[in-house]
Homo-oligomer: A and B are copies of this chain.
Amino acid sequence: MQPDLLHRADAAHALQHFRTLSPLVHCMTNDVVQTFTANVLLALGASPAMVIDEQEAAQFSAIADALLINVGTLTADRARAMRAAIDSANTAGKPWTLDPVAVGALTFRSDFCKELLALRPAAIRGNASEILALAGMSAGGRGVDTTDHAQAALPAAQALARQTQAVVAVTGEVDYVTDGVRTLAVTGGDPLMTRVVGTGCALSAVVAASCALPGDRLTSVAAACSVMAQAGSRAVAASTGPGSFIPAFLDALYALNGEDVA
């Protein structure tokens, strides 16, 4: 089954929707990427909020438009608060997205992520090693970095999508986004983005926000990948290394409009 390329017009349409809706995104994410994640969402016109206490997290995920669960710096306390937030989001009919950072090599997060698969995530975003590990097809990468190509994880992504009913995005040089039946491919981006912490985690937050958009979810998630990749390509062209990439990337996300994307 050959993946289709995401239509540029669909990405442009989704970006316009995103800026108009300005989704309120409840981010339960890791310590390392919180600031960058918030700034990425703000640059795109969304409204991020990080709420982590168990009781408050449950309260807030019913109010927010979407929930992000990122296990990068998981602890027992945070796992409890995440479960409470997911339950509340599910009850309120709000979509939640899983970023299974470094799943596979580490037991606690691996068990936790597998438990979460039964709780109806709207989307899952990971690199090839993470998606392979989550689908039970490999032991995970080296630390938080992938040791596999996205294409090699496409069958795992498709199986995971069918198992969970989630849209699964496996990202790398080319991103693949699948619901288990249809698969979209997204090109763009640059290897320099792997030299900046949080680009993948921030993409997961944009994916989470995109799940709050009306319309076809597969297209919305692929559009999120496309917007980030295009902003990344522009920022690389405007920068001289990973340091200057960061402000250039946020500026590019802020400036990007439907016409640019189409």
Distance in Å: Cβ of A174 to nearest Cβ of chain B: 22
We find that the number of chain A residues with CB closer than 8 angstroms to chain B is 63
Contact of A242 with B42 in the complex, beta carbons under 8 Å: yes
Contact of A196 with B145 in the complex, beta carbons under 8 Å: no
A117 proximal to B (CB < 8 A):
no
A247 proximal to B (CB < 8 A):
yes
A184 proximal to B (CB < 8 A):
no
Which A18-48 residues have a C-beta within 8 angstroms of B?
Answer: 24, 30-36, 38-39, 42-43, 47-48
A261 proximal to B (CB < 8 A):
no
Distance in Å: Cβ of A92 to nearest Cβ of chain B: 14
A74 proximal to B (CB < 8 A):
yes
A182: B residues at CB distance < 8 A: none
Distance in Å: Cβ of A189 to nearest Cβ of chain B: 16
A255: B residues at CB distance < 8 A: 240-241
List A residues at the B interface (Cβ < 8 Å): 24, 30-36, 38-39, 42-43, 47-53, 55-56, 59-60, 63-64, 72-77, 102, 105-109, 142-145, 194-198, 239-255
Report, nearest first, the 5 A-B pairs whose CB atoms are least far apart: A243-B250, A241-B251, A243-B247, A38-B197, A49-B143
